[in-house]
Amino acid sequence: MVPGKGIIGLKYLSRKEIEQIIETAFSMRDVSRRSVKKVPTLRGKTVVNLFFEASTRTKTSFEIAAKRLSADVVNFSYTSSSISKGETTIDTAKNIEAMHPAVFIIRHSSSGVMELLSRHLKTPIISAGDGTNEHPTQGMLDIMTIMDEKKRIDDLKIVIAGDIYHSRVARSDIYGMTKLGARVYFFSPPTLITDDFATLGASITYDAKDAFTDADVIIMLRIQLERQATGLFPSTREYSRIFGLNAQRLKLARPDVIVMHPGPVNRGLELSSSVADDADHSRILKQVENGVSIRMSAIYHTIGEEHGYTDN
Ligand code: CP
C-alpha cells in the first residue's frame, strides 16, 4: 500500500495490496473481539464520513472502525447540509477539506465521482460506494469472509446472482476475486447484465441449475428497484421463482456452500428467509462483522501505518 493514496476501487489495487489489507483486517478483528475494543493508532486524526446516499452497514461500520482506531469522527448529513441550497459535491468536499480532515469516506450516487473528487482534493478518499461503479471495502469484506470460511479463494466456484447491472458490489467482487484466482459466475436475467461483464473475467449464465450446481460460495445481490427507471423483469413473483435462491435450489450447491448477501436483503424476492437465516450456510452477519475489520484496515493503511496498531 502507498499511504495517503486512498482506496477508490479494487480495479486500482494489486493482488498484493488486497491481500495486505485483508491480512491486517484479521488482526483488527481480534481488537474488535476483546473487551477493550480500542487502539491508539489514529489519536488526533479526523475521519469525515461524507455520505450523499443512504447507508446502514457501511456508514456505521466506518464510524465504529475509525473510533476503534481512536480517530475523531465527523458524520456529514446530506439532508441537513447546504447541498439543499445548491452547493456542489466538489465545493462541499473542498470546504470540509479546509478543516484539515485526515481522510474522507465518501458514498455518492454518481458512478466515477471518486476519480473526479480525487483530482480536486489533496486528502485521501476511501470509497464507500459510487453509483453502480465500485464498493471496494464491500469487495474486500466479501473476500475476507470467503477466506475465513474456506481458507482459500483460488479455484473456488463463486456465483454472484441477481441484479448485476446495477451492482457496485458485483464489480468490486469481480475485480478482487479474479485477481485472487477465483472462478466467478454471474447469474441474472439478461436484462440485468450486459455482455461487457464477460470481459471482466466472469462466466455468465442465465440458467439456475448451471449457476448453482457445485457452487462453493453464492453471493445474492439485492434487486435495486431505486436504480431502475423501467421494469426490467415482469413481476417480483416471477423473478423470485426463476432467479431467487431458496432451500430447494440451495441443494444444487456443494454441501458446505456458504451464502452471502451485501444487504439490505429483499426477503422473499432474491433470497428466501429460510436461507437468509440458515445458520449452517448463511454468512450474512459474518460479512457485517468482517466489514468493521476491513474498514479499520483500510483506514489504517491509508493514514495510520506509521503508528502501528498495537496498544503502545
Ligand atoms: N452493503 C452495504 O453497502 O449496505 P449499506 O447500503 O447499508 O451501507
Average pLDDT value for the chain: 94
Angstrom distance (rounded) from CA 22 to CA 13: 12
Please work out whether the CB of residue 291 comes within 6 Å of at least one atom of ligand 1: no
Residue nearest to atom 7 of ligand 1 (CA): 56
224 — pLDDT class (breaks 50, 70, 90): confident
CATH 3.40.50.1370 boundaries in the chain: 6-135+289-307, 136-284
Please work out whether the CB of residue 139 comes within 6 Å of at least one atom of ligand 1: no
Q: Which three cell numbers stand for residue 176?
A: 478482487
Specify the ligand 1 atom closest to the Cα of 59: 8
- Whether 284 and 259 have beta carbons less than 8 Å apart is answered as yes
Rounded mean pLDDT, 40-54: 96
Angstrom distance (rounded) from CA 304 to CA 312: 14
Please work out whether the CB of residue 57 comes within 6 Å of at least one atom of ligand 1: yes
> For domain 136-284, is the CATH number 3.40.50.1370?
yes
| Beta bridge mates, 130 | 108, 134
pLDDT (tens digit per residue) in 49-96: 999 999 999 999 999 999 999 999 999 989 999 999 999 999 999 999
Q: Which of 162, 126, 161 is nearest to 257 (CA)?
A: 161
99 — pLDDT class (breaks 50, 70, 90): very high
Specify the ligand 1 atom closest to the Cα of 291: 1
> For domain 6-135+289-307, is the CATH number 3.90.245.10?
no
More confident residue, 226 or 312: 226
Phi, psi of 157 (to 5 degrees): -90, 110
Structure-derived torsion over alpha carbons of residues 91, 112, 190, 240, reported in degrees to the nearest 10: -50
Find the 135 Cα to ligand 1 centroid distance in Å. Answer: 9
Please work out whether the CB of residue 189 comes within 6 Å of at least one atom of ligand 1: no
Q: Which three cell numbers stand for residue 134?
A: 465500485
The pTM score is: 0.95
Phi, psi of 293 (to 5 degrees): -65, -45
Residue nearest to atom 6 of ligand 1 (CA): 55
